[in-house]
Amino acid sequence: MSKRIPGLYKRGTQGIWHIDKCIKGYGRLHESTGTSELEEAERYLIRRLEELRKATVYGIRPERTFRQAATGFLLDYQHKRSIGRYAQSLKILDPHIGDLPLRQVHQGTLESFIQHRREQGMRANTINRDLAVVRRILTLAARLWRDESGLTWLETAPLLQLLDCDDARKPYPLTWDEQSRLFARLPEHLREMALFKVNTGTREQEVVCLRWNWEVSIPELKTSVFVVPGGGVKNGEDRLVVMNAEARAVINRQRGRNPEYVFTYSKGQPVDRINTKAWRRARKEAGLPQVRVHDLKHTFGRRLRAKGVSHETRQALLGHKNGQITTHYSAAEIGELIEAVEKVSWSGSSAPTLTLIKSENSRKSPATGRRENRRTV
């Protein structure tokens, strides 16, 4: 029977072998081998000792896969509000580059992934979001993450070129008729969220994450507003959400359903998105397959502009970053914001007043020779 390599011991109820070994020129190595098989644990220890020897003596980096780096990235960024999107991108990327060593992840090895996503009908902007996550991980591996020997995980980060976004979809603000057709086909919980969104200009995650303890009473105006903390807002600043009569009615209908979250479905269960199969089915049935959830925010902004609301007020209502602390308003200023959003409620709206002119390849304007299509919003 061969002698066991020193430095290994069993730990835990599953009998996993762990390393506890002092190494000259390095110090103490203490980590799990991840296996309960002795032979496999010994092979793991031998490989780690060789990696450390090369790193210590020759400055050679241990080989790490992109999957290992992606796992570390998700652990480091688990507190970020965008963690869900990062995880989704990495899940899509894993079959293509997960097993590759970090040094082999570059523009060339990503081409098959890009081609695969194009064949799925993904737009350049969507693919670029995935590539941006890869670029971020490689940058961290080359500049920030270091191993036990003080070496970065990657010597240099390769240059990754994003795709041209010529195919990016333009905003599609809804007409009142289109809004009615779409909302009539949505299930109740999605209809309520969509109605709140189109009357407040909030982003999707601001709506689905809205909490009751973010509601702030304004006694002078006999109303309330919501202040969304910066951690849940795209630009990182606290977001003031004022409501017109329609939005307030939506909020009042949600009271008592869940002690924490404003918007729920079924038996008071929180909602994690508006862009569901039910949303996509409803827009198709309404003859509006091109409409995105974010277009509800565009609709709110266009209606404000059509009603003559100033640019500064529109910026505040849409939660755009403008260098000011947007939650520091007096009651009088909040009253002015409420007056502005009342102009775009269904009850406060007269006939549509904004006409969009969109160039298409189907009809030419006699005046310009360009093809045009008009929609009234």
Burial of residue 311 (CB within 10 Å: 0-12, 13-18, 19+) is exposed
pLDDT(124) > 60: yes
Considering the domain boundaries, does residue 352 fall inside one? no
The model's confidence at residue 365, banded by pLDDT at 50, 70 and 90, is very low
Q: What is the mean pLDDT of residues 293-319?
A: 93
Sequence length of the chain is 377
| Structure tokens given for 52 | 């450390």
* Residue 100 scores a pLDDT above 80: yes
Structural domain count, the chain: 3
Name the amino acid, one letter, at 365.
S
Q: Distance of CA 60 to CAs 63, 66, 155, Å? A: 9, 18, 10
Whether residues 93 and 196 fall in one domain:
no
pLDDT at 246 over 60: yes
Using pLDDT thresholds of 50, 70 and 90, give the confidence band for residue 358: very low
- My answer on whether 105 and 22 are in the same domain is no
How confident is the prediction for the chain on average, in pLDDT? 83
Question: Is residue 19 situated within a structural domain?
Answer: yes
Side-chain-side CA neighbours of residue 283 (13 Å) = 18
Question: Is residue 171's pLDDT more than 80?
Answer: yes
Q: Are residues 187 and 319 in the same domain?
A: yes
* Residue 359: inside a domain: no
Domain ranges, residue 98? 66-143
Confidence of residue 190 (pLDDT cuts 50, 70, 90): very high
Of residues 118 and 61, more confidently modeled: 118
159 lies in some domain:
no
Q: Tell which of 143, 164, 192 closes a domain.
A: 143
At 243, phi and psi to the nearest 5? Answer: -125, 140
Q: Give yes or no: residues 14 and 74 share one domain.
A: no
Residues 46 and 74 in one domain: no
Task: Dig out the tokens for 187 from the structure.
Answer: 């299930």
Q: How confident is the model at residue 101, as a pLDDT?
A: 86
Q: Is residue 207 part of a domain?
A: yes
